[in-house]
Amino acid sequence: MSIVVKNLNFVYNPKSPFEKHALVDVNLTVDDGDFLAVIGHTGSGKSTFIQHLNGLIKLQDGVINVDGIDLSLKKVDFKKLRGTVGMVFQYPEYQLFADTVYNDVAFGPKNLKLSKEEIDERVKEAISLVGLNFDYVSQKSPFELSGGEKRRVAIAGVIAMRPKILILDEPTAGLDPQGKKEILGLVTKLRQTTSPTIIMINHDMNEVARYATKVAVFDMGSVVFAEPPQQLFKKQEQLVKMGLDIPTLAKLRNMLVSKGINLPDDCLTVERMAEELIKLKKRRQDECSET
Amino acid sequence: MYLVLENKKEIISVQNATYIYRTSAEDEAKETAAKAVNGVQDVSLSVYEGEFLALVGHNGSGKSTLAKLFNGLLLPQSGRVTVFGYDTKKSDEVFEVRRRVGMVFQNPDNQMVASIVEDDVAFGPENIGVPQPEIVERVKWALSAVKMSDYADKTPTRMSGGQKQRVAIAGVLALKPSVIVLDESTAMLDPQGRKEVLDTVKRLNKEENITIILITHFMDEVLDADRVIALDGGKIVMEGTPVEIFRQEDKIKETGLELPIICDLAHKLADNGFDVDADNFDLEKLGEEICQSL
């Protein structure tokens, strides 16, 4: 088990007029190899939650265990925790700071006090993993690159720490369709190579439906659902009530099912939906010709 | 659709406009061979009064450059841009241009100049010397047009992204523009905020007859546009109604864009013997058609 969260509560500005209960009794388990999407509208507690996972927010009440590291202890091994959990913030390209791409990506490993060779190896690996040409970009200033390239460099900086768990806060925000596809393709690749467990905050339900293996829905500081997208998006009414979108094809599937057309619940991508409908049509035609 | 537009009044005219970003000379020598045009090259187009025009294209296709040419934030290096007959290149006419073409940018946090919403909206009219009583009226009207009247005396810091963008739109409205250009103004918002902003601009387009130029890479945002222009490599590569544009699936993909999911599915089904309207953007209708053709 990768991450176990039990009865987590968090209050901003406690005992002041600005007191705000951001998290209320959150319970959630993330298994090794999960691709967890965290959804919920602005102010639902998503960001407060993920900031707990690598110790950016100090635990107030509850239990969190991340890959064997107990965050409720008095002395938490933060160094180990931050080597385990990599965090890619929203618009990570705004956090690039070094004079060259190489130095920016090397910043994390250098702080781990690794040997020069090891740092070099990690930087090379990270830059090539994010799909950039090492020889071409390593000595460039990160500010000479395009927006999409900058975001990759920022992700490479996190990957160079070789985190087992990678957390991304809206990694596709502000990108064009091609850029979105590339970043999500990259996340999928990282899941297969360096970081088997992915946690991603995302507002785009179509992307959630396509990539996530499990979805946690936050509403008013609590996790109201935590299940695979195939099951979750059947609960159209409840999600709409919370002000959340439903993936376009889940809407279509729910509509067709209500009309008596039997479709598998994983028809959440255009390819799968088209495939099943074509199969169904063929089957019905065959039945017709038989009788 | 086109015929209707032809009869309309041309209010912005872009004639063979070129604007190319130049970095250092050394960079240029290195990159000219490898890189396509960075900016726009030899672009001509007309914008008609009262239309809802969507500009699409991948990052770096030239959309924002074109937008900045519309109100003289950038001046064409060659060619001409005129707005209601005023030439953006003439320094004594550019203010007439800017008064008519307002812009809303991407980041809601970068566009607030005052600490109170109504002061922020009043900033534009104050600058162009509108008399005080009229400013008060304009601010009131602009805030009600974007449905933010309740926030007039609030501070923007605690508002959502969508609310901030609506205040930014009100700030532009207070100048009584004929055209509002939204340069990826929904890119940083959550679905709720995007919807608020889109509903607002659609309403301004219909009720106040304000011409809208919406720059976006969300394909579902262009479905309601009267006309879509797609840019690639600094040139116009497609132009037409959303239906006409999305029929050209291959070209859309070549341009680095995507079909809206409903279109994509409708095309795939139509290709496989389903009796569905491939030009349809309505999910309910597609659902009905699927039921009938199974």
Check if B36 contacts A (Cβ < 8 Å). Answer: no
Buried b (16+ CB within 10 A) or exposed e, A148-183: bbbbbbbbbbbbbbbbbbbbbbbbbbbbbbbbbebb
Q: What is the pLDDT of residues B180-228, one digit of tens each?
A: 999 999 988 888 888 999 999 999 999 999 999 999 988 989 999 999 9
Contact check, Cβ <8 Å, A280/B190: no
Query: For residue B262, what is the nearest residue in chain A, using CA coordinates?
Result: A248
Select from B106, B274, B283 the Cβ nearest to the Cβ of A281. B274
Residue B6 binned pLDDT confidence (cut-offs 50, 70, 90): low
What is the reported pLDDT for B2?
47
Is residue B219 helix, strand or coil?
A: helix
Instruction: Choose among B56, B92, B70, B66: nearest CA to B180.
Output: B70
Q: What is the pLDDT of residue A178?
A: 87
A278/B265 touch (CB, cutoff 8 Å), yes or no: no
A268-287: average pLDDT: 93
* Cβ pair A270:B191 closer than 8 A: no
pLDDT of residue A207: 94
Q: Which of residues 220-249 of B touch A (CB under 8 A)?
A: none
In angstroms, the separation between the Cα of residue A162 and the nearest Cα of chain B is 29
- Which among B219, B257, B290 has CB closest to A277? B290
A233-269 pLDDT, tens digit per residue, is 999 999 998 888 899 999 999 999 999 999 999 999 9
Strand partners of residue B54: B214, B228
Q: How confident is the model at residue B4 (pLDDT cuts 50, 70, 90)?
A: low
Contact at CB, B264 and A175, closer than 8 angstroms: no
- Could you give the count of Cα atoms lying within 13 Å of A171 in the half-sphere of its Cβ? 30
Residue with tokens 């707990």: A52
What is the length of chain A?
291
Distance from C-alpha of B217 to C-alpha of B174, rounded to nearest angstrom: 27
Which residues of chain A lie closer than 8 angstroms to B265, CB-CB?
A: 249, 252, 270, 273-274
Q: What is the per-residue pLDDT across A19-61, written as a single tens digit (0 to 9) for each?
A: 999 999 999 999 999 999 999 988 899 999 999 999 999 999 9
| Contacts with A251 from chain B: Cβ below 8 Å | 283
* Secondary structure string (H, E, C) spanning A36-85: EEEECCCCCCHHHHHHHHCCCCCCCEEEEEECCEECCCCCCCHHHHHHHE
Nearest-by-Cβ selection for A270 from B264, B287, B293: B264
Cβ–Cβ gap A147/B290 under 8 Å: no
Contacts of A228 (CB under 8 A, 6+ apart): A212, A213, A214, A215
Position B1 pLDDT exceeds 50: no
Contacts of A249 in chain B (CB under 8 A): 261, 265
- HEC sequence for B251-267: HHHHCCCCCCHHHHHHH
- Determine contact: A245 vs chain B, CB below 8 A: yes
Say if B219 is an interface residue toward chain A (CB within 8 Å).
yes
Chain A's closest residue to B184, CA to CA, is A174
- Whole-angstrom distance, CA of residue A169 vs CA of residue A106: 22
Distance CA A202, CA A208 (A): 7
pLDDT for A122 beyond 90: yes
Query: What are the tens digits of pLDDT across the range A148-192?
Result: 889 999 999 999 999 999 999 999 988 888 889 999 999 999 999
d(CA B41, CA B88): 17
Q: Where are the alpha helices (DSSP H) in A198-269?
A: 205-211, 229-232, 236-241, 248-258
Residue A235 tokens, joined: 């609960």
> Is B190 in CB contact (< 8 Å) with chain A?
yes
Residues 6+ apart with CB under 8 A from A153: A93, A96, A101, A104, A105, A127, A130, A132, A137, A142, A145
A41 and chain B in contact, CB less than 8 A: yes
| One-letter identity of residue A237 | E
Residue of A270, A278, A279, A282 to mutate, testing the B interface (most B Cβ within 10 Å of its Cβ):
A270
Tokens (6 digits) for A252: 């279509």
CA-based nearest residue to A50, from A201, A151, A207:
A201
- Indicate yes or no: CB of B272 within 8 angstroms of CB of A252: no
pLDDT at residue A208 tops 80: yes
List of chain B residues whose C-beta atoms are within 8 Å of the C-beta of residue A243: 192
From A146, A243, A256, residue closest to B291, measured CB to CB: A256
Contact B106 A41 (CB under 8 A): no
Shortest CB distance from A281 goes to which of B188, B268, B294?
Answer: B294
Nearest residue to A47 via CA among A102, A87, A18: A87
Size of interface A-B (CB pairs under 8 A): 87
Is A5 at the interface with chain B, CB within 8 A?
no
Question: By the CB < 8 Å criterion, does A240 face chain B?
Answer: no
